[in-house]
A and B are shown apart, each in its own frame.
Chain A
Amino acid sequence: MKDISLHIMDIAQNSISAGAALVEIKTEVNEVADRMIVTITDNGRGMDKNILEKAADPFYTSRVTRRVGLGIPLFRHSAEQTGGSLEIISEPGIGTSVIATFIRSSVDRPPAGDIPGVISLLAGANPDRDFVYRHLAGSGEYVFDTRQVKDVLGDVPLSEPVVIRYMKEMIDETIRDMLIPEL
């Protein structure tokens, strides 16, 4: 994976496959502690202890089309190579949280990538699910919520290509307005 946004896109797919109705993606920049924390939380079916242990194993997958599952291992590797870590918290019937902590100043930290693009693509490609994107930096917080977008648009589906572009512009614009240093 070239950047953090692509990891987010990949891990969010797991949430979608787990039947989540709501996926919350949070990026947090803490300059003082020199951390960048990415959290993906869903209300999907969750995993019990047994499956959770296996999720980190690249040769474990719930899929039948092929026998390897590299999403979580790649994300973990990416975080750990900066000196950070990856943690998964899951409860059957409640949902799953994947928390990746990156050391921000590490030369091995991948760039943030096109996070507005990823969030809008996820929202557009899965109009039956809801996504919340939250970005925290210093004292500022930005929230994008597809439920608000749906309220505004009414019967216009989020899968409309133009809507996907609009959503990207909305996130892009606000994040730039917050004048955040490179994630």
Chain B
Amino acid sequence: MKKVKSLADLKKMKEQLQSRIALREKSEHPDGIIQVKVAMATCGIASGAKDVMDFFITNLEKRNIDAIVSQTGCMGYCYAEPTIEVRLPGQDPVVYGFVDLKKADEIIEKYIKQGELVDGIIPVNYKTID
């Protein structure tokens, strides 16, 4: 992949970006795109939320999953940071706690790709059967 080094380089990429967005708008899920929100208050950041957010941005792109990754504040689950909220189109949002890079990978592979819930949901009322 070619690196973007300046505003001029960025300008060259504009068309490609626009067609990517146009493609998404015409896709079969015009009602919604996958949303990942990373809790980024003091508690989250201190627990490694930035690395988790980096991981989602890099890997969702690498694995060709169209998603928006954004930040949110503290949800009050400071003990379980880093926490993230994942919203699949047309579904209720799910909050995951103690998300390290390994858990993030599992969330992408199982929950985001296949819609299969994984351990680590807050509040803890869900557990996979062994």
Chain B CB within 8 A of A117 CB = yes
B54 touches A121 (CB 8 A): yes
Interface mask (B39-62 → A, CB under 8 Å = 1, otherwise 0)? 011110110001001100110110
Does more than half of chain B's interface fall in helix, strand or loop, or is it mixed?
A: helix
List the A side residues contacting B4 at CB < 8 Å.
166, 169-170
B14 touches A148 (CB 8 A): no
B70 touches A159 (CB 8 A): yes
Q: Given that A152-B11, A165-B58, A170-B5 are known contacts, is A6 also in contact with B46, CB under 8 Å in the complex?
A: yes
Q: Which residue of B lies closest to A163 (CB)?
A: B17
Chain A CB within 8 A of B94 CB = no
The distance in angstroms between the C-alpha atoms of A169 and B6, with both chains bound, is: 9
* Segment of A36-44, A62-70, A92-100 in the binding face: A62-70
Chain A CB within 8 A of B67 CB = yes
List the A side residues contacting B42 at CB < 8 Å.
10, 69-71, 74
Chain B CB within 8 A of A111 CB = no
How many residues in A have their beta carbons less than 8 Å from beta carbons of B?
40
List the B side residues contacting A17 at CB < 8 Å.
73
List the A side residues contacting B10 at CB < 8 Å.
149, 152-153, 166, 170
A13 touches B60 (CB 8 A): no
A154 touches B14 (CB 8 A): yes
**Interface size class for chain B?**
35 or more
The distance in angstroms between the C-alpha atoms of A160 and B46, with both chains bound, is: 25
Q: Given that A13-B41, A63-B74, A170-B6 are known contacts, is A159 also in contact with B54, CB under 8 Å in the complex?
A: no
Q: Given that A13-B73, A66-B74 are known contacts, is A117 also in contact with B54, CB under 8 Å in the complex?
A: yes
Chain B CB within 8 A of A83 CB = no
Task: Say how far B1's CB is from chain A's closest CB, in angstroms.
Answer: 9
Task: Say how far A169's CB is from chain B's closest CB, in angstroms.
Answer: 5
List the A side residues contacting B46 at CB < 8 Å.
1, 6, 10, 74
The distance in angstroms between the C-alpha atoms of A49 and B12, with both chains bound, is: 49
The distance in angstroms between the C-alpha atoms of A4 and B7, with both chains bound, is: 26
The distance in angstroms between the C-alpha atoms of A82 and B101, with both chains bound, is: 32
Beyond the given pairs A6-B46, A155-B18, 4 more chain A to chain B contacts, judged by CB atoms under 8 angstroms and listed by A's residue number, are A125-B40, A156-B17, A174-B5, A174-B6
Interchain residue pairs A-B with the least CB separation, the first 3: A125-B71, A166-B4, A65-B76
10 sample A-B contacts, Cβ–Cβ < 8 Å, listed by A number = A63-B73, A69-B42, A70-B42, A70-B43, A125-B70, A149-B7, A152-B10, A161-B68, A165-B57, A170-B10
